[in-house]
Homo-oligomer: A and B are copies of this chain.
Amino acid sequence: MKLKEKRLSTETLYSGSIVTLEIDQALLPNGDKAKREVVRHPAGVAVAALTSENELLFVRQYRYPMAEIVLEIPAGKIDDPTTQPLENAKRELLEETGAVGYSYVPLGAFYVSPGFTDEIDYLYMCRVDHFESQKLDEDEFVNVERIPLDKAVGMALNNMIPDGKTQTAILKTAMLLQMEK
């Protein structure tokens, strides 16, 4: 079956500080036309950082769209498109937790919801070398937690960690370390 769609037109309805909303007309493989609602996003990074005691670093922060405090690995947007994902991952880890990491390993790209948004998150794992002080933005409020990796795996498998990128990063980290043994 032919799958590819072709852009016929695009209109930007909103361009904000995080998202841009585009309404496009697309040509479908069968020749029909369809509307496509697309939320453009600058991409993000997230880091599974392991301490020397094999604890993962987490942050709890209020996520306004969910109206709840969510447990996540340190993460953030790529604000400057000329920077590399890895630089941003190191920066976010330091800002949110004060940790300086080493032995970064890419855990791959992560499309968050390819039906409506082009957001890609770049996931990493690393080891924590040492801690400095957090460098939070003025309007950023997060609490840092450490959870043993084994416990975090159990939490992910028992639906106690609803954040998607965090589930994936925990499970990938655990499986990759298991394979090293």
Contact = CB atoms under 8 A, between A and B. Distances in A.
A168 to B, nearest CB: 5
A118 B117 CA distance: 13
Contacts of A110: 162, 164, 167
A41 interface: yes
A37 B62 contact: no
A91 interface: no
A121 interface: yes
Residue of A2, A119, A142, A143 ringed by the most chain B CB atoms within 10 A: A119
Given A28-B139, A142-B3, A162 B37 contact: no
Interface string A110-129: 11111111111100000000
B19 A39 contact: yes
5 contacts: A3-B60, A13-B21, A106-B159, A157-B175, A168-B168
Copies in the complex: 2
Nearest to A110: B164
A163 B108 CA distance: 10
Counting from the closest, the 8 A-B pairs by CB-CB distance are A108-B159, A63-B114, A171-B171, A112-B113, A65-B118, A110-B164, A3-B62, A112-B112
Interface string A148-181: 0000010011110011110110011001100100
Given A18-B115, A36-B64, A120-B162, 15 more contacts: A3-B62, A5-B64, A16-B37, A19-B39, A28-B141, A30-B138, A39-B116, A40-B65, A63-B115, A70-B111, A107-B159, A108-B158, A112-B164, A113-B113, A156-B172
Interface core residue of A35, A64, A110, A168 (most chain B CB under 10 Å)? A64
